[in-house]
Every structure is written in structure tokens, then in C-alpha cells.
Amino acid sequence: MRRLSWGPFALVCSIGCGVRPAGEQETSAGSDAGSTSASALGSSGTPEPGTTAGTGVDTQAGESTGVAEGPKYDVHGTVEHGPCETQPAGIYCDDGNAIECDGAGKVVSVDMCKPNICLAGEGCVVCTEGQFHCSGPRVMECNTNANPPRWTEIELCNPAAGEGCNGASGTCEVLQPLGGIAPTGNYFQYADFRTIDGFSGGYDVDCFDDLIYVSSGFTGVAVDVYQVSIEDSDNDGEIEPNQHPDNLEETGPIEQRTLVHLMTIPNVLVSSSTAEIYALEDRIYVGGASITEYVFGGGNSVTTTPPSWAAYFAQIGYDDVNGVWYASNENERRVFQYDEETAQWGLAFRYPSLAGDHMDGLEVVTDPNTGIPYVYVSDMTSDFIGQYRLDPNEGWVQQNLFGYAGTTGSAVEGMGFGAFNHFWATGGDSLYEVGGGDLGTYTEPIPEG
């Protein structure tokens, strides 16, 4: 996953000195009243895969106490066996993990197969017989004659003619808008920072923990870095990023947010309103005439350029599970997908009009609970966010269409994700925060317990 926690001092030093942050500082949201930054929220521990806690009772007798023993009962089913205790030697599948057993009750190895598939007896494989896959403009079929199975190209689509890959049928076809326009879920607006609130203006945006990167003003030659924090403004002893008067699951007043401008990164070419930012711990990527990587304290380099039919990248997003770039522009409601192996771009899917003037938002967010990456899209003057995923059997599907009320007139000129596990959008003179509700079930970890 790309979102680790680090502070503003590490940011300034890494940009000015080329020094990388030492590591992640573990924090806990809600443990103290008062103010905390977004990097203190949304983190959850992940147990080692395949581990199982025993629940047996210690029945070893100690010295006699002179007290008569009561009746003894044989209570079955209270001992939880490990994954290999009752299995012969071999490879088994458990919740997407491949577990190898030695036949003597011990675990030899555990492999997390996501995004691959677990097959009993074989372990993690990229595909199974009869499956198709879309990669950029290529239609791929699972070659099970190879050892191990691998994807093989069977057809090359022509995106200039509107063709894309149909992952269900394994063919190229002229893509039609995918999904409906009736909302299936909701989300809410939590903050709207204007120039009087310390926002300097800008279009393109992304987050890394509590740090928000925005194209500086309207110059297109620098990036402003902000830090956002939240406080326990209702004084109930808890920090509640999703609390909202209209949120039936977490009803209450919106917790106070504060935005602080930390610094400006010079010499970053961000074409105002027709580019986008993707932020990592020690670098950012910027769209536009190319996807360009800017390493803090280390220069820049072009990652990929758009084909002639795509013209430019007004929005960019990255699937950190499968290692795939996505992009789009404002001309049509089309999402592009990159095939790194052949350095080709293709059409992934089109989506219907969401009551906006044109497309102006794209982000890829991995569900922290399922590990499934989703592509989110939005129109410029719209109150909707569409959610799409690449299904291994059906191809691209619309998972949900989330809607809300309360834009206060703000347009979408750029869309990112991160702080408080919420989406952040810019409208030129506005930086605002949306999320929670039904949308939040796909972006926030389920609380432990």
C-alpha cells in the first residue's frame, strides 16, 4: 500500500536535503481528546496470514489443596486447530492464501495470492483455465499449458476506433457507457477550504496521509503542500472524521478541520486544470503531456506519454495492487489503462453522464478490507462518484454510484484520496473533503472487534 505515516519536518528535509524519512510513526486516533493530524487515522494492524491462536485450557494439576474435586466435563470443540494440524503434506487454500503443510502439523510457508488466485495443490497462480483478462489494449487468455499458467495475448484492440477489451467474452468491442445513473449509496461533505481559510487556490490534488498536494495557484509551475488536522470539537473524547448531521451511522456535528500551508515545491510543471497529481512518500507523479515522476531532492523523469488518440492525461490514478496506471482526459468519459509489458495504452471502460459538463475526476483506491482496487470517476459539475472494478470473470463492472447533496457550488477540477480516508477535490478557489457513508465502507478499515 502506498500510504505510510510521516511528518511535515521529514517532508521539508526530504525535498531540500534529499533525506528519506526514517520510518512510520504509529499513532492511534481517538485515544486522546484534542487535535490530531490525518496520519493518525485509518491505520490498522494486519495479522500474519495463516496464524491461529490456540484456545486450550491448562488442566495441569498442582499440589493438593484439600478441597474435594468437582465433576469433570469433556467439553468438545474448544480447541482451535492450526491450519496444518490435521492436514497431510501439500498446499491448501485459505481465504486467498496458499498454505503449504509438511504433513506433521507444521506450516512450511504462507503466500498471499492477491491479486493472484490460489489453487489447491499448486499455490498462487495468475489465472485459471477459461479466464480472460484486459491489459491496456490487449485481450489476454489464460495459458494453462504453461508452467506456471500465464496470460497470453489473443487479440489487440484499436482504441483510436473506440475499441476496448471485453473481459467476459475475451474479445475486442466498441465500448459503450457502462453502468446506471441511479445512485446506489451516499457520502457526505466535511470541509470546504477557501482562500480565507488558508487555501491558495489550484486545480490538481492528491494526498499522502495528512499531507495534501495541490497545483500552486494557477501558475502551473509549482505544487503547494498543506497539512490538514482534525480536533475533537464536540468535546466527547473521540476524534470522529465521519461524524455528520446527515450520516445515520455516525450522526453529530462535523469535527473541526484546520488547513495549514507548509511549503511550495518549485519547478513542477502542472498544467492547470488539465493535469493531475499522484503522491507517494518521497515523490509525486504529475499528469498532463506525460506522467512525470518528481523525486523529492532528486530530479524528475518521464514515466509514459499518451498516444495520439488520448492527447493528454488530465487525470491519473495508480492501482498499487496490480501495478497498473489509469488515466483519462476531459474530452470524453473514457478511462485509459496502461500495459507496462508492451508500453501501450488502451481503453478500459466508458461511463455514462453523471449530470456534469465533462469528466474531471479519477482516482484508484484499494479497499483495505478486501484488497480489491476500485477506479472512481466523477464529472466536473456533478454530485456523483462512480465506482468501477475489473472483475476476473465479467470484465469491467460498475460496483456503485454514490451521490450526495451539499457541494456549495464547488466544481471538480481534480480529485485525490488520503486524509481521513476521504476524497479531496479542488475547484480552483476551493479545496473540499467528501467521504464516509456508504462510500466509506470501501475506503476505511473495519474497526477491530
**Type of residue found at 349:** F
Residue scoring higher pLDDT (57 or 368): 368
What confidence score (pLDDT) does residue 270 get?
85
Picking from 271, 289, 287, 283, the residue whose alpha carbon sits closest to that of residue 221 is 271
Strand-pair partners of 414? 426
DSSP H/E element including 376? strand 373-379
Q: For residue 382, what are the CA distances in angstroms to 183, 210, 246, 385?
A: 12, 26, 19, 8
Q: Among 18-27, 210-219, 276-285, which stretch is predicted with the lowest mean pLDDT?
A: 18-27
CA angle centred on 396, ends 393 and 401, rounded to 5°: 125
Q: For residue 387, what are the CA distances in angstroms to 103, 365, 442?
A: 44, 10, 10
Q: How many CB atoms lie within 10 A of CB 242?
A: 21
The ranges assigned to domains in the chain are 8-31+179-440, 132-174
Quickly list DSSP for 58-74. -----S--SPPP-----
What confidence score (pLDDT) does residue 429 get?
87
Strand-pair partners of 244? 251
Mean pLDDT of 321-349: 95
Q: Are strands 395-403 and 185-186 parallel, antiparallel or unpaired?
A: parallel
The sheet carrying 132-135 orders its strands as 132-135, 138-143, 150-156
Residues 6+ apart with CB under 8 A from 356: 378, 379, 380, 381, 382, 384, 412
pLDDT of 295 over the 60 cut: yes
Q: Is 300 helix (H, G, I), strand (E, B) or coil?
A: strand
Q: Is 352 helix (H, G, I), strand (E, B) or coil?
A: coil
CB 35 within 8 A of CB 54: no
- Joined together, the cell numbers standing for residue 343 give 508500453
Picking from 354, 349, 351, 327, the residue whose alpha carbon sits closest to that of residue 338 is 327
In which band, very low, low, confident or very high, does the pLDDT at 314 lie, cut at 50, 70 and 90?
A: very high
pTM assigned to the model: 0.79
Q: For residue 290, what are the CA distances in angstroms to 172, 207, 310, 325, 359?
A: 26, 20, 11, 12, 19
- Joined together, the cell numbers standing for residue 212 give 495534501
Report how far residue 314's alpha carbon sits from residue 328's, in angstroms, rounded to the nearest whole number.
6
pLDDT in tens, 106-147: 999 998 887 778 888 888 888 888 899 999 999 999 998 888
pLDDT in tens, 350-371: 999 988 888 889 999 999 998 9
What confidence score (pLDDT) does residue 345 get?
98
pLDDT in tens, 17-48: 333 333 333 333 333 444 455 544 433 333 33
Residue scoring higher pLDDT (70 or 346): 346
Instruction: Write down the mean pLDDT value for the chain.
Output: 82
Picking from 194, 332, 333, 202, the residue whose alpha carbon sits closest to that of residue 276 is 202
Domain 8-31+179-440 - what CATH class? mainly beta
